[in-house]
Amino acid sequence: MPDDLPLPPAALRLRLDTAALASNWRALDALSGRARAGAAIKADCYGLGMSAALPTLAAAGCQDWFVAHWQEAAAAVRHVPAAQVSMLHGPMTDAEAVYARALGVRPVLNSLEQVRRWLRAGGGACELMVDTGMSRLGLPLGDILDPAIAKLEIETCMSHLASADEDSGQNAAQLGRFRDVMRAVPARRYSFANSAGIALGPDYHCDLTRPGLALYGGVPRGELAGKIAQVAYPEAAVIQVRQLAAGDSVGYNATFTADRAMRVGVIAIGYADGYLRCWSGRGYVLWHGQRLPVLGRVSMDMTIVDLTAAENCGEGDWLALEYTLPEAAAASGLSQYELLTLLGRRFARCQ
């Protein structure tokens, strides 16, 4: 097959509203008060595509970026200065510490062993994560006075809220512990709040906030409703139109049977694309704003929808998924994070 043979267009597309993305960052930056807002860009900007999202956020004014893997750090420095990029998982080996120094990004140190590993590699500007109650990554509180900590050049000392999306007493308890950390650990700046944490108010903002979900259209707390715009618009093409008679069933295990004559469409999306079986019989797609129900069970690559009320919709036409994140999460039982990061690589990303 010739290498220059043009590839037919994808039957899935994910439109990124870059104006909404930029607006969301500016809103979160303003809500951060005297603090500056950064951006969590891990998981390919929560599934939306770093190549489009990161330059949009940089143009909006963002200067601090948080990734979870070295591959993400290497991708980020193609767009922004390496010194602005922080790698959350930290160096797991001496070789990774050497790599971080060579690339120029700041590792987030999560243990005394990572602290010593960084110092052995030559040290330099870094971040320090302290665990204040999530029991995930981070230096235990009992280790923050270790003499090795005093040898670090800490750009940002940070912790992470476990329950900021809830009205939980854990939030205030973590804040109290982090205030103790700020008194004990010298750093150029301190960072505590994620998207939901920003909505908890100025006590949680410190010097730098680290929004993720809300940048991409998620609303983790009610205080952010009306301030955050939808960013991701997934669409699927109709690949076949069929006529059903009363008594015909559709999809695996015949979970839907027509009780009348129906016009249905097969669209090119399924659980391999992140449109999971939880949408079976409960999801809707949109045709010029008209809601069309999903029928039967979602397959790996295909989903069947009711086109009876959409007479002008035919093969090759595009149907939009209902994907306003808070509503989609309530309908599907998936978290807003999952709804974004599950969107597969078969989507053509576009603006």
Residues with active-site annotation: 42, 252
Cα separation, 281 vs 311, in Å, equals 21
Looking only at Cα atoms, what is the longest distance across the chain?
77
Other residues' Cβ atoms within 10 Å of the Cβ of residue 15: 16
Cβ neighbors of 345 (< 8 A, separation 6 or more) are none
Q: How many CA atoms lie within 13 A of 36 on its CB side?
A: 10
In degrees, rounded to 5, the angle at the alpha carbon of residue 345 between the alpha carbons of residues 339 and 350 is: 85
Q: How many CA atoms lie within 13 A of 122 on its CB side?
A: 10
Residues facing 249 on adjacent strands? 257
- Comparing C-alpha atoms, which of 77, 34, 72 is closest to residue 212? 72
Strands 284-287 and 249-250: unpaired
Render the burial of 46-61: b for 16+ CB within 10 Å, e for the rest.
Answer: bbbbbebbbebbbebe
